[in-house]
Structure formats: C-alpha cells, structure tokens
Amino acid sequence: MQEHSDNIHHESGPGASTRDRKYTIAGIAGLLVLCLLIGLAVFAFRGTHLHPALVNGRYGFIDNSGKLAIQPQFDQAGEFSERLAPVAVNNRWGYVDTKGKLIIAPSFDMADPFTADGIAMVGINGKLGYLGKDGKWVVGALYDGAGSFGDGLAPVLVNGRWGYINKRGALAIQPQFDEASSFSEERAAVRIGQLHGYIDKSGKLVVNPQYDLAGDFHDGRAAVKSNGRFGFIDRDAHMVIPAQFDAAGDFREGMAVVAIGPRFGYINKNGRFEINPQYDRAGDFHAGLAPVWTGDRMAYITKAGKLVWNPAV
C-alpha cells in the first residue's frame, strides 16, 4: 500500500505502491531511486551496516557513524542486504560488496536489494526475474509484473492476474488477485476489486478485503487506510493504532514513518511519537539509522532523532 515512495502509504505521491516492492516495468524509472534507498524488505549484515548517501550528485555509502566507507561514484544506489547492494553505473544496475567492488556486473534495467531468501528481483529487456547472489538466474526474466521474495514466495503477474511462485519458479498460489504484495510474517496484502485484505501462504484469506490500502506486516503491525486515514492493525485485524495519519510506512526496528499533514516523523508500536513530524520525506530505519529529507537535502538520523550525517550543513 505504499503510494508514497519508500514503503510509505499515502493518498497520492511520487512513489511506489506498498506491495513491498512490487513493480511493473512501466514506471520503474520514476520510482526506483527512492524505492531502493528506502523500500521494502532489507536485512542488516554482520558488522557495520552501510547506507547509501548522496554527495555532489553521486552515491557512495556511509557507516553508522556517518563516515564515508565507499566513496561517491555511482549514479544511484540502494541499501545493503546479504552483504551486497544494488548500484547503477551508466544507467545499468549491478551489485557491489561492502568494499565497493562490483560483484555482479551492471547489466540490468533495475535491481532490488537481496532478500533474506538470498534472491533479488531484477529487470531486463522489459521483463522481471530473480537472481541469486552468484549472479545466476534463479527464475528467468519472464514477468511483466513481480515483487520481491518473502517467506519463500514472490508475487508475479500472469495473464493479468497476480499469484505467487516459489523459489523454483513454480506457481504456489494460482493467479487470482487484482494486486498482490510480498509476504512478510506469513501474511501478504492482496487486492480483490477495490479493497485490500490479507492471505496466508496457502492463499487463503485470513483478513477479508476491507481496506482502501494495506501495507506489510513487520513487528506484528501493518499500516492500513480506512475512511481516509492511516492506522495500524495486528495480525488479528484489530486496529491497535487508530487511523489518524495522512501517510504511514511499515514498522522497521520498532518504529514507523507517519505523516501529519505534509510533515513526516516516527511513532513507536504504541502509536506514540518518538520523533515529531518535521521532515519533508523520511524513510525506514535500517541498523539504527533512517534517511530524512528537508527539501532536496538528504540526511541520516538515529532513533533519538540525532543527525549523524548531513553534508548540507
């Protein structure tokens, strides 16, 4: 349900849909930078996590102290996961390791971070498929629409309907939905008609379609839109944080991005603000840091709201 880029759910905005990182090839170019910077299922690796950072129009990576660990040299970059990060060189995407060395050559139209399944969604020649960390195809580029793997399954578009494949590329849930998200915490948001609900890994509806938009479960919470506002439900579909926000993102590391009016801040799992709304845009926390924007200026903050990297100052 993220209609604002970066897993933030929004009435309207310049970003992706909240289907955890579901894409059709058309429209990827306009969404890719923010989606990769902030999006959807990213996993920290052992040791110091590195974060993409924009310096004088080029992307490098900083560590948690705000120190540049990989010098700015890429056209675009996404978050590290599984010790690899997607980067763009001359408008082609590949992957670097934590030293900044290209491990998978830039040869794709787009590239997602690797998920915990060790698989990344990539696009090439107008189609989407899945790579392993060795750069070899796990599932070939066959789909006009697809989403990232989660819990061993990935949403794919087949003949105009969304279903799910397993890591062998075989259909595990038959195409039957109008829209489908990636699985997280053994739940996936799907759209049937105009409303969104949730299925389990067998494809059975466990939360009936009733929401205008629906996000992914993280930390036992999912953002949903009801009656024009965003709140959060638990796995039993109880509204545990009332619908009161103008935009909302998925919980990550115990905090979620929300907006009151045009300003973004962060709440905890009880719905209380930990960082008051003050940013023009804001992204998920990864390994204790989150990217925030004031105008076009990007910075990183800690969970206490402290700036650790702000090159504009």
Is 277 within a domain?
A: yes
Residue 159: CB atoms within 10 A of its CB come to 7
pLDDT band, very low/low/confident/very high, at 26 (cuts 50, 70, 90): very low
Q: What is the pLDDT of residues 232-286, one digit of tens each?
A: 999 999 999 999 999 999 999 999 999 999 999 999 999 999 999 999 999 999 9
Q: Give the residue from 48, 43, 77 showing the smallest Cα distance to 60.
A: 77
Residues 124, 137: Cα–Cα separation, whole Å: 12
Q: Which residue has the higher pLDDT, 2 or 70?
A: 70
User: Which residue segment(s) compose the domain that 81 sits in?
Assistant: 8-309
pTM (two decimals): 0.85
55-66 average pLDDT score:
94
Q: Which of 22-31, 137-146, 224-233, 293-302 has the lowest mean pLDDT?
A: 22-31
67-96 average pLDDT score:
97
Is 1 within a domain?
A: no
Number of structural domains found in the chain: 1
Q: What is the pLDDT of residues 86-130, one digit of tens each?
A: 999 999 999 999 999 999 999 999 999 999 999 999 999 999 999
Helices (H), 1-67: 28-38
Is 235 within a domain?
A: yes
pLDDT band, very low/low/confident/very high, at 7 (cuts 50, 70, 90): low
With contact defined as beta carbons under 8 Å apart, do 246 and 253 qualify?
no
Q: Which of 23-32, 182-191, 293-302 has the lowest mean pLDDT?
A: 23-32
Cα dist. 14→11, 24, 181, 295 in Å? 11, 16, 19, 14
With contact defined as beta carbons under 8 Å apart, do 57 and 68 qualify?
no
Is 2 within a domain?
A: no
pLDDT band, very low/low/confident/very high, at 311 (cuts 50, 70, 90): confident
pLDDT at res. 44:
35
Is 70 within a domain?
A: yes
Q: Give the residue from 249, 285, 282, 289 showing the smallest Cα distance to 265.
A: 282
Indicate left, alpha or beta for 3 from its phi (over 0: left) and psi (-120 to 50: alpha).
Answer: alpha
The residue whose two tokens read 């996961």 is: 81
Is 107 within a domain?
A: yes
Is 3 within a domain?
A: no
Is 169 within a domain?
A: yes
Q: What is the pLDDT of residues 160-219, one digit of tens each?
A: 999 999 999 999 999 999 999 999 999 999 999 999 999 999 999 999 999 999 999 999
pLDDT at res. 4:
30
pLDDT at res. 30:
35
pLDDT at res. 19:
34
Residues 147, 135: Cα–Cα separation, whole Å: 18
Residues 94, 124: Cα–Cα separation, whole Å: 12
Indicate which CATH number applies to the domain containing 122.
2.140.10.30
